[in-house]
């Protein structure tokens, strides 16, 4: 779905998964600095929006999600996953309940598969699931923003900012009063700095929650049964995940960033060394320079210098080995 804000001055369209919104508006670092200072907004209107209504909505979702939501207070933001039977991550949902409706935003073009799964699990529960992507646009206000929130709009308040579920028809008007726009590249740079994983970026077909540090924030270890819980409990109680998320400082002298999927090796092993991981997201940060998130084998020493392709990389542990 193409955002009308692509007509704003300087807007350069994003590509790939984030197609439909602006990558930037002409000055990537200025946009990053504005967000870091609590100014401006990010157009995330390409993301899927799903609602669940009905008196059983929280009790029903509690059975399906990795998060404890049966007693979720109105207005409290949370996040949750849906796992496969083998414990692999299939969906990531960013939720808030307004007292009558659960609002969730999800990765672009994943809402159809999510809704199909939810519909298959309704049984006798008094719930209604709806795809609201066509009429609701997600807008992100950074932490510290003093921008006005329109009355009646569902809001997810998090340490990283506020997610507004704005009527799509109001998007252009709201953009005119919300401050300077920032593109998805600025938003992604701050996400990487904050070590926050993203479905489809830090995940692949075999990712389990422990590898990305989603235990606690998206997975509640004391709630009842859900699909994939056996894997979560087994790894938590008896073992360690096979991989772990790391934050990388990349050699700033290189012109090109190593792209997602670039293989990681131990620097001491040279270019013919064995693969020990791969880049998941790489960005240029306004203060830190070129940085990235990556998945590496759990037993890689936390102080070992790495090489991403031909680019030297120093790691910081996000998930402890």
Whether 79 and 22 map to the same domain: the answer is: no
The answer to whether the CB of 142 falls within 8 A of the CB of 161 is yes
* Domain coverage including residue 32: 4-47+135-194
Number of domains making up the chain: 3
**pLDDT tier, 270 (very low <50, low <70, confident <90, very high otherwise):** confident
**pLDDT for 256:** 87
Helical spans, DSSP H, in 161-318: 171-175, 184-193, 229-238
User: Each residue of 164-186: pLDDT tens digit?
Assistant: 999 999 999 999 999 999 999 99
Supply the DSSP symbol for 92.
E
d(CA 314, CA 305): 5
**pLDDT for 117:** 98
Domain end (from 84, 107, 131): 131
The answer to whether the CB of 74 falls within 8 A of the CB of 99 is yes
Average pLDDT, the chain: 96
Please say if the pLDDT value at position 254 is more than 80.
no
Query: Phi and psi for 58 in degrees, rounded to 5?
Result: -75, -40
Whether 284 and 264 map to the same domain: the answer is: yes
Please say if the pLDDT value at position 18 is more than 90.
yes
d(CA 127, CA 59): 10
Which range, of 38-42, 186-190, 268-272, averages the lowest pLDDT?
268-272
**pLDDT for 204:** 96
The residue-averaged pLDDT of 282-291 equals 96
The answer to whether the CB of 243 falls within 8 A of the CB of 283 is no
Whether 12 and 154 map to the same domain: the answer is: yes
Domain end (from 96, 114, 131): 131
User: Each residue of 152-167: pLDDT tens digit?
Assistant: 999 999 999 999 999 9
In a domain, 70, yes or no: yes
Whether 310 and 182 map to the same domain: the answer is: no
**pLDDT tier, 255 (very low <50, low <70, confident <90, very high otherwise):** confident
Whether 24 and 142 map to the same domain: the answer is: yes
| 157 beta partners | 162
The answer to whether the CB of 54 falls within 8 A of the CB of 194 is no
* Six-digit token string for 155: 């809001």
Q: Report the CATH number at residue 106.
A: 3.30.70.1400
**pLDDT for 1:** 81
Whether 37 and 172 map to the same domain: the answer is: yes
Supply the DSSP symbol for 108.
T
């Amino acid at each position: 779905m193409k955002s009308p804000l692509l007509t704003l001055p300087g807007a350069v369209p994003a590509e790939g998964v984030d197609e439909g919104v602006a990558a930037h508006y002409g000055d990537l670092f200025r946009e990053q600095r504005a967000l870091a200072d609590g100014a401006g907004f990010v157009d995330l209107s390409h993301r899927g929006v799903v609602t669940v209504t009905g008196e059983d909505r929280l009790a029903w979702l509690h059975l399906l999600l990795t998060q404890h939501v049966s007693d979720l207070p109105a207005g409290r933001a949370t996040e949750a996953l849906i796992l496969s039977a083998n414990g692999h991550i299939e969906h990531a949902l960013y939720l808030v309940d307004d007292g009558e409706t659960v609002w969730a935003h999800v990765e672009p073009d994943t809402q159809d598969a999510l809704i199909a799964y939810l519909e298959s699990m309704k049984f006798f529960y008094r719930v209604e699931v709806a795809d609201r992507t066509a009429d609701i646009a997600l807008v992100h206000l950074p932490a510290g923003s003093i921008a006005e929130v329109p009355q009646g709009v569902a809001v997810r308040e998090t340490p990283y900012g506020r997610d507004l579920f704005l009527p799509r028809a109001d998007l252009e008007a709201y953009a005119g009063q919300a401050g300077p726009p920032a593109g998805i590249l600025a938003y992604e740079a701050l996400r990487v700095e904050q070590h926050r994983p993203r479905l489809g970026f830090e995940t692949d077909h075999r990712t389990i929650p422990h590898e990305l540090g989603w235990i606690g924030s998206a997975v509640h270890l004391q709630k009842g049964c859900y699909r994939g819980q056996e894997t979560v409990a087994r790894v938590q109680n008896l073992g360690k995940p096979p991989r772990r998320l790391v934050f990388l400082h990349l050699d700033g002298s290189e012109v090109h960033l190593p792209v997602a999927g670039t293989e990681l090796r131990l620097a001491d092993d040279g270019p013919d060394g064995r693969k020990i991981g791969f880049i998941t997201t790489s960005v240029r940060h306004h203060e830190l320079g070129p940085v990235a998130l990556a998945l590496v084998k759990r037993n890689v020493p936390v102080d070992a210098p790495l090489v991403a392709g031909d680019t030297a990389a120093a790691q910081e542990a996000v998930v402890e080995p």
